[in-house]
Amino acid sequence: MADGFKKGLKHPFVEKVTAVGSRHELPYQRHAPEKSYNGVPQNTPDTIRMGLPRILVEVHGYNKPGYPAHVQRNFSRLRDKYDDRVAVLIIYTETGPHFSPSRFDFALLGTRLSFSFAPYVVRQQQAILLENDKEEIALMVLGILLFLKVSRGKKHDEQLLEAKIRLLDNLKKRKLGPEDEANFLTFISLYKSFYDMKFNSIFGEAIRQLNFKKKTMTNLELYAMVKAREARKEGRKEGIEEGRTTIVKNMLQRKRFPMKEIAAIAEVPIDFVKSVKMQLSLS
């Protein structure tokens, strides 16, 4: 992990981990017997090896009493399975300003258990460090952080527009590939919405002026694309045709998309769209 991301995350565990949520090599002490069966020394408890720990990563976005107990149960299950080679990284995203629990204590009839971890709290991060961080995930953390600071009152839309344009500027500076750029544009556009629809037009114009690699889409088009992807994933479980039908119905009911565009997004023939439209008119 780049040094900038380490500083941006400001998490002690990240100093040793090169990428959140994957397997990594960290030194640990191997407890081996000092002597073999025939009495000849083979190795000592001081033997140091490179191990591959498992990291329990949970992203938590709301206040939930007793959450550390949930983390402890999951940690214990993994620790039983992987024999001590487990660490915990909890990321608090949209939790309240006073919600970042990091400890679970249990006591019953003389039995005691204490479990703690060092969480990564998005609300406590510094925007300037995240903006200068070269890792892509820092931009998503920055977005959540800026959106958290947007008020819910009269200045909501003005502050949200300012936050989104700041994210667009940072995205442009990163010079990502077209697909990654499009994914971040979707995130910035849809994660938090304006109250007044006129701000969508202002934001859309800001996107066009920055001249991103892929043709930009409206919020409704982005929404339809995301829902189409979700429906296609669901379709693999419950039947491809049913999933595509759901896509087409949702888009037809919005009455904002031409049938050719619906057919392209849902990956179905135009006749399929016409058939679904006829079913809706009869129901």
- Please, are residues 274 and 268 in contact by the beta-carbon 8 Å criterion? no
Tell me what pLDDT residue 41 has. 42
Tell me what pLDDT residue 281 has. 77
CA distance 244 to 242: 5
Tell me what pLDDT residue 38 has. 45
Report residue 150's pLDDT band, with 50, 70 and 90 as the boundaries: very high
Instruction: Check whether 247 has a pLDDT greater than 70.
Output: yes
Report residue 12's pLDDT band, with 50, 70 and 90 as the boundaries: very low
Instruction: State the alpha helices, DSSP H only, in the chain.
Output: 3-9, 67-82, 127-132, 136-148, 156-174, 178-190, 198-210, 219-238, 240-254, 259-266, 270-282
Most confident of 80-89, 163-172, 185-194: 163-172
CA distance 89 to 119: 6
The residue type at 224? A
Q: What is the pLDDT of residues 77-93, one digit of tens each?
A: 988 888 778 889 999 99
Looking at every residue in the chain, the average pLDDT score rounds to 75
Mean pLDDT calculated for residue range 90-119:
92
Tell me what pLDDT residue 94 has. 85
The ranges assigned to domains in the chain are 3-123, 150-217, 231-272
Report residue 168's pLDDT band, with 50, 70 and 90 as the boundaries: very high
Residues 6+ apart with CB under 8 A from 48: 27, 28, 29, 30
Residue 274 sits at φ, ψ, to 5 deg, of -65, -40
Total length of the chain: 283
Most confident of 24-38, 179-193, 224-238: 179-193
Mean pLDDT calculated for residue range 152-179:
90
CA 163 to each of CA 34, 96, 133, 204, 261: distance values in angstroms, whole numbers, following the listed order: 60, 20, 17, 14, 31
Percent share of the chain, pLDDT over 70:
70
Report residue 181's pLDDT band, with 50, 70 and 90 as the boundaries: confident
Report residue 139's pLDDT band, with 50, 70 and 90 as the boundaries: very high
**Total-model pTM:** 0.59
Q: What is the pLDDT of residues 47-69, one digit of tens each?
A: 334 467 788 899 998 888 899 99
Percent share of the chain, pLDDT over 90:
29
Q: How many other CB atoms are found less than 10 A from the CB of residue 189? A: 24
Residues 106-134, buried b or exposed e (16+ Cβ, 10 A)?
A: eeeeeeeeebebebbbbbebebebbbebe
